[in-house]
């Protein structure tokens, strides 16, 4: 009788495993016409930036930490609006590069830019964090990570990194100004192309 019970239990266990573990036949093949551009040898780079602010962390975050506050401190002329979800809610999407909020804490959030058809995905993510340095001061940290392997050469990669560093250093300075009660200077003029040769 015991052997029959053991055999029955073994058969049930095997049947359960068969239901849970998918086989190769169960894997869904991509639909015809679907294409995804995969980067064969990604080169992930990070740009860590920080700025001290002379205000307590809660005050700093209240002033600059809203998900669509990016329009003010990055001085985006088109502004920012929520395309889906609620302001500050994980999974919400803002109009700035259709960025998706993927994580948040009391004084931080992380966002990503989505995959776009016909373009290599560079895994771009940004994290903005306010960290108490003392009861009256705050460290603002902004970290970017992305794959720059699709740029043509080292010169282009260095130029891209320098441009992003300058843009987000200016953004941190603007956050500091706003959090400390100041007003922002006018945004920098867009770069103008050199005059055409005649």
Give pTM, 2 decimals: 0.77
Contact residues for 13 (Cβ-Cβ < 8 A; gap 6+): none
| CA nearest to 50, candidates 151, 167, 173, 184 | 173
**CA–CA gap between residue 107 and residue 45 (Å, rounded):** 24
77: left (phi over 0), alpha (psi -120 to 50) or beta: alpha
What phi and psi values does residue 53 have, to the nearest 5 degrees?
Answer: -125, 135
Q: What pLDDT score does 46 carry?
A: 98
Q: Which fold has domain 44-179?
A: Alpha-D-Glucose-1,6-Bisphosphate; Chain A, domain 4 (3.30.530)
Q: Mean pLDDT, consecutive 10-residue segments, the chain of 198 residues? A: 48 39 41 60 96 98 98 95 96 97 98 90 96 98 96 96 97 98 86 49
């Amino acid at each position: 009788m015991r052997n029959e019970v053991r055999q029955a239990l073994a058969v049930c266990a095997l049947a359960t495993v068969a239901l849970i573990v998918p086989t190769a036949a169960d894997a869904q093949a991509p639909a015809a016409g679907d294409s995804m551009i995969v980067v064969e040898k990604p080169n992930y780079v990070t740009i860590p930036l920080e700025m001290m602010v002379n205000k307590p962390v809660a005050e700093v975050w209240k002033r600059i930490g809203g998900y669509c506050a990016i329009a003010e401190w990055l001085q985006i002329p088109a502004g920012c609006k929520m395309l889906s979800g609620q302001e500050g809610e994980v999974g919400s999407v803002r109009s700035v590069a259709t960025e998706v909020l993927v994580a948040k804490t009391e004084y931080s959030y992380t966002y990503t830019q989505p995959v776009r058809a016909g373009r290599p995905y560079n895994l771009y993510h940004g994290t903005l964090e306010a960290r108490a340095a003392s009861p009256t001061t705050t460290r603002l940290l902004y970290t970017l990570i992305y794959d720059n392997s699709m740029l043509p050469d080292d010169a282009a990669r260095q130029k891209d990194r320098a441009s992003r560093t300058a843009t987000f250093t200016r953004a941190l300075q603007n956050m500091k100004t706003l959090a400390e009660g100041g007003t922002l200077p006018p945004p920098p003029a867009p770069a103008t192309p050199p005059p055409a040769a005649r």
